[in-house]
Structure 1
């Protein structure tokens, strides 16, 4: 199969782009409450491993010959391209069974041409835990972890960090079990995806993948007869038979011998995938067992273990036991997430507050800002995004303030009466002539038909 034009795809630039993305994402602090290291191994590391495997195999398919065939009847004759196209899809090897060596059984290598795209399909499946964890997140917890992680290295605000964590944790104790159960379910989903991937590759390789690494050990090859397990799973040489069913050889039957050059790459790629999937299944299973053991009160106290500071009046174990009595599994898990961003001394101070349930009455609801304006004045970069100013989402949902209304001051009716009855005032404003005597004295008693002009 002739290679498609060289230089059309620069594999080095693709690999460098993938490596740069991995490096940039590896330095991001995990702040989502329903996310963790095991889940990152699935939706991030394994995802990029499968994408890298796809591009590696795909590049070989379009930049080198993937099959070479010769006719068993005339080796000097060049095989037609349409025959080679069929041999790419339906090569086979003969398996001679004991007692029936004259009629060997054929095993068709149907995966040879299309196994490349299985990496792309599995990469999309391995990203499912990330999409599910985003839907299960608690926005308040996520925002709080982000603020603590962003300012945990600042010594001058460490006490205010403790105050904010306490202001959230104490009123919300024993309310985070639902968040913890969601986190456990996501890890179970990741384990099911690992088992599915193992069986998926086993189906593609015709039942020879699950025990691939075990049967291949100690990796002794047979380059003469190709009888070892690796060569039997990915045979480098195969046959191809075209007969009347293929509708291309009329009434003849053509037999070709083919060299499948990609098999040498497949056997190494799938061996690394097998090792990684076994390790990933083991780590995920052990982590899920640890998450279930956290429902035991004594076991989850291990999550809160920290060094005793010099000013501590009592032992850390005693303080952890007191705090554990006031919390459930979800609270301990969330506190464990905060622990990774705090020093041992400040974490001890936080535990001392959580160990006393009476502190719930001392928390002020208005103390929701992490820092005050004295430490960071308005407009400074250190004060942005940490609770001093409202976020864009808060201001977007807030109603606009009512415009100020002009309120008229109350007037005295007696003053208005005297003002309009004074002829000098009316003359000053051009209402009457200064010497008009008819207007200076209203005729109030000349007739009963006269109308009073006084303002009551």
Structure 2
């Protein structure tokens, strides 16, 4: 078990080089790590301990009743959900169910699998980007993130990086748009998972966090605890069997679901975490849209992030490049040694400025004076 949790810790370790943004990392590292940890915890409780405990229903046998109720689900009685425990009802939702509306609980067998599916869905945008990115950033870094190497080697690597940026300028838009698509998929995934869990919990999850806060602030004793309503700790189960006379006998059992104590805490946390993740990711998508539309913002961002680069060099690079080049340059700046990156950017700006100067003032053909004299 400890080895499993040690593997989960790897989701929270930062990689040696970065190929995406911090908000994107929250999806495939922090969130996937949390979901996998919850999945492992519930699996251990479910398959090592007793996920359900039921009373003996009419001398049927405790183990038989528990197996039946775990497989075929349990239920609560709607009329017994409000009321004072110990006076009106023995427990919210536990009451004689004949002729009364029931709320059936089928989710608890599938929570572990649902969490694992959610972890896969959160990692999918990262998997797509990892394949589309193709190791470009790592290949261009050439160990320049360390900055400790011989001057000859450093000069050679800087020239290789500079030549690549010069030769491939304005050819990175499709590469950048695929990354932006992955961030958009991450946003769609958060929204989709909220509705997925809402369907999983019979339409009660979208307002779950708000209901929990409202319940904690309200002093009305007749209100139903939303955590008990969605994750009941005590439920009923009806077992049918043949009696001595050959007639079908009905036996009601009361079951305790200890896993729901853990489930309610997990999904309260996930509700608030997904809300925060949605707000951050929506802001990130809007930020990307501004970058695409405004070169001035690109200049500002490069100036703020990489202060060692001269302002005129930044303006020349942004003016002579496209949005995809900005993303590649920004990611390289996040990974390469700051002094080396400064030198490469200054040399790239000098080349771009020289080309612009030649374009505006092309050299004369020469020999005009000799021709005239002849």
Within the candidate set 334, 337, 341, 1:340 is matched to: 334
- 2:77 maps to 1:94: yes
Matched positions, count: 332
Shift in Å, 1:267: 0.6
Question: 1:112 aligns to what SS in structure 2?
Answer: helix
In structure 2, the residue matched to 1:29 is 17
Are the aligned partners of 1:136 and 1:182 in contact in 2 as well (CA < 8 Å)?
yes
In structure 2, the residue matched to 1:59 is 44
Question: 2:276 aligns to what SS in structure 1?
Answer: helix
Shift in Å, 1:39: 3.2
Within the candidate set 329, 348, 353, 2:323 is matched to: 329
CA distance in 2 between partners of 1:330 and 1:250 (Å): 76
Write out aligned runs for 1:180-199 (5 A): 180-199=176-195
Shift in Å, 1:155: 7.7
In structure 2, the residue matched to 1:200 is 196
CA distance in 1 between partners of 2:137 and 2:15 (Å): 21
Shift in Å, 1:59: 0.7
Structure-2 change in CA distance of 1:260 and 1:38 (3 Å): same
Are the aligned partners of 1:230 and 1:267 in contact in 2 as well (CA < 8 Å)?
yes
Write out aligned runs for 1:10-409 (5 A): 11-19=1-9, 21-22=10-11, 25-30=13-18, 32=19, 35-70=20-55, 77=59, 79-88=61-70, 89-96=72-79, 104-138=100-134, 140-149=136-145, 151-154=146-149, 156=151, 158-217=154-213, 220=216, 227-243=224-240, 250-295=247-292, 296-305=294-303, 306=305, 316-342=310-336, 345-356=339-350, 357=352
Range with greater deviation from structure 2 (173-182 or 153-162): 153-162
CA distance in 1 between partners of 2:222 and 2:247 (Å): 34
Structure-2 change in CA distance of 1:335 and 1:155 (3 Å): farther
Are the aligned partners of 1:235 and 1:263 in contact in 2 as well (CA < 8 Å)?
yes
Are the aligned partners of 1:171 and 1:360 in contact in 2 as well (CA < 8 Å)?
no
Deviation readout 1:312-358 (Å, 9 max, x if unpaired): 8xxx3333222211011111111111212345554443333333426
**Structure 1 unaligned runs (5+)?**
1-10, 362-456
Identify which of structures 1 and 2 has the higher relative contact order when contacts are C-alpha pairs closer than 8 Å and 6+ apart.
Answer: 2
CA distance in 2 between partners of 1:206 and 1:285 (Å): 27
CA distance in 1 between partners of 2:150 and 2:283 (Å): 36
Larger fraction in helix: 2
CA distance in 1 between partners of 2:22 and 2:353 (Å): 36
Question: 2:106 aligns to what SS in structure 1?
Answer: coil
How large is the RMSD of aligned CA atoms in angstroms? 3.3
CA distance in 2 between partners of 1:269 and 1:144 (Å): 42
Q: TM-score, normalised by structure 1?
A: 0.64
Structure-2 change in CA distance of 1:219 and 1:63 (3 Å): farther
Greater radius of gyration (CA): 1
Question: 2:116 aligns to what SS in structure 1?
Answer: helix
